[in-house]
Amino acid sequence: MSSNSDNINLIAAFAEFKEFKNIDREVLMRILIDVFRHAIIKKYGSDENFDVIVNPDKGDVEIFRWRTIVEDGQVEDPNKEIAYSEALRIEPDFEIGEQLSEEIKLSDFGRREILTIRQNLNSKVQEYEKDSIYRKYKDRVGELVTGEVHQVFKKEILVLDDENIELIMPKGEMIPSDHYRKGDSVRAVILRVNMVNNKPEIILSRTAPEFLERLLELEVPEIYDGLITIRKIVRVPGERAKVAVESYDDRIDPVGACVGMKGSRIHSIVRELRNENIDVIPWSNNPELFIKRALNPAKVSDIKIDETHKRAEVYMKPDQVALAIGKGGHNIKLAGMLTGFEIDVYRDSDEEYLDDVDLQEFSDEIDQWIIDILKSVGLDTARSVLNLSVQELVKRTDLEEETINEIRRILQAEFE
């Protein structure tokens, strides 16, 4: 029997093994045996008469070949048979017909064969690693994950999870005001897992509705316990989100539970989402009621619904229109996405507003770009602008105070 130093020591021969930490020992042993049997078949033509023993503690492989002792000159297959005189040189008390076992050393394989074994081992292990990463993450789509930013590129960031597996977050899956530096901690949801060029690609998202859903589950025990159900989430990432919730227990107020005392529960989520406004709305199967709730904080006076074409005509007092439309039109857009209805907002035709004038009529006195800004926040008539204070107008439009004053002066003149 050879001394241990002649064993095929893998720790020495295959130093890169230390890096394969995502592989359990059993699998590694299976791969090792597989690769060595492959090498034996290539060298000796068959592996039937070989034992391959892996010793994971020492990191070595022992290979034994069994041959039958035959009379001199009777050897037909030198891989499976050995001449009597040769066997006696190994041990003097052998007899014909007995089985002789001898160890094959790593040096018995040529240098090129050793290189091939190494390459095969490497590619088999990497293949297994890729496969196991893919399988592991494929089952975790929709889960929340925390990682560390490893590299920041123009179109994406590279994030490492706690096992140093690479995850990718494309620019389009980040909230517009997200800015990351190397070393930052990042929370996101696993959006999808693809195999690209035989390599698993794990895509993260902070803009997906599921991200907000997971955060709510973390903060609101009643959701996690199933007492409150999230029926639907729609978002304009970083700006506004609407969440429709339902409770199966009459004693639980689903909106109150989600928002928490003085907004304590929702607050940390708003911070994580870069100050995204979150409206929590009680779900309803009644489209009229649901649309009214979805347009919050605006108050609706009347509503006409066309179920067939999924359209809703909503009437409200003129001072509510801007609220219904919201900054950048987000409120009405999200209400439509949440309810599945195309929503058109109309002003109540109260007498005092019959003499209102469309802003477009003032295009000779007010710059078109200013009119466009006012319209984008739901102000499209003279009175709708005049009904709001200067401060409120500055806040909604981001226009200068003196510009606002000048606009008001022009519009006021119309009614004097």
DSSP per-residue codes, 364-405? TTS-HHHHHHHHHTT--BHHHHHTS-HHHHHHHH---HHHHH
For residue 178, the domain's CATH number is 2.40.50.140
Judge whether 272 lies within some domain: yes
Residue 254 contacts by C-beta under 8 Å, 6 or more apart in sequence?
Answer: 222, 228, 245, 246, 247, 280, 282
Same domain for 266 and 238, yes or no, is: yes
Q: What pLDDT is attached to residue 125? A: 82
Please check whether residue 304 is in contact with residue 325, taking contact to mean a CB–CB distance below 8 angstroms. Answer: no
Measured from the Cβ of residue 308, the count of other Cβ atoms closer than 10 Å reads 6
Please report where in the chains the tokens 């050879």 appear, as a residue: 2
Same domain for 215 and 199, yes or no, is: no
For residue 138, which phi and psi values (nearest 5 degrees)? Answer: -60, -35
**Structural domain ending residue among the three candidates 119, 135, 151:** 135
Q: What pLDDT is attached to residue 377? A: 86
Please check whether residue 243 is in contact with residue 216, taking contact to mean a CB–CB distance below 8 angstroms. Answer: yes
Q: What pLDDT is attached to residue 1? A: 37
Same domain for 131 and 27, yes or no, is: yes
Judge whether 332 lies within some domain: no
**Structural domain ending residue among the three candidates 106, 135, 164:** 135
Same domain for 73 and 171, yes or no, is: no
Same domain for 172 and 257, yes or no, is: no
Please check whether residue 324 is in contact with residue 296, taking contact to mean a CB–CB distance below 8 angstroms. Answer: no
Judge whether 271 lies within some domain: yes
Judge whether 340 lies within some domain: no
Judge whether 288 lies within some domain: no
**pLDDT tens-place values along the chain, 416 residues long:** 334 444 555 544 454 554 555 667 777 788 888 989 999 999 999 999 999 988 766 667 889 999 999 999 999 999 999 999 999 998 888 889 999 999 988 788 888 888 888 888 888 888 888 888 999 899 999 999 999 999 999 999 999 999 899 999 999 999 999 999 999 999 999 999 999 988 899 999 999 999 999 999 999 999 999 999 999 999 999 999 999 999 988 899 999 999 999 899 999 999 999 999 999 999 999 999 999 999 988 999 999 999 999 999 999 988 888 889 988 899 999 999 999 999 999 887 655 555 678 888 888 899 999 999 998 888 888 888 998 899 989 988 889 999 999 999 999 888 77
Judge whether 18 lies within some domain: yes
Domain boundaries, position 13? 4-135
Judge whether 224 lies within some domain: yes
Same domain for 112 and 148, yes or no, is: no
Same domain for 129 and 144, yes or no, is: no
Q: What distance in Å separates the CA atoms of residue 375 and residue 373, rounded to the nearest whole number?
A: 5
Judging by beta carbons within 10 Å of its beta carbon (0-12, 13-18, 19+), is residue 103 exposed, middle or buried?
middle
Residue 249 contacts by C-beta under 8 Å, 6 or more apart in sequence?
Answer: 227
Q: What distance in Å separates the CA atoms of residue 41 and residue 173, rounded to the nearest whole number?
A: 50
Q: What pLDDT is attached to residue 208? A: 98
Same domain for 38 and 106, yes or no, is: yes
**Structural domain ending residue among the three candidates 205, 228, 255:** 205
Per the omega criterion (within 30 degrees of 0), is the bond before 297 cis?
yes
Q: What pLDDT is attached to residue 59? A: 64
Judge whether 342 lies within some domain: no
Residue 271 contacts by C-beta under 8 Å, 6 or more apart in sequence?
Answer: none
How many domains are there within the chain? 4
Q: What distance in Å separates the CA atoms of residue 86 and residue 92, rounded to the nearest whole number?
A: 10
Same domain for 37 and 116, yes or no, is: yes
Q: What pLDDT is attached to residue 6? A: 46
Same domain for 159 and 218, yes or no, is: no
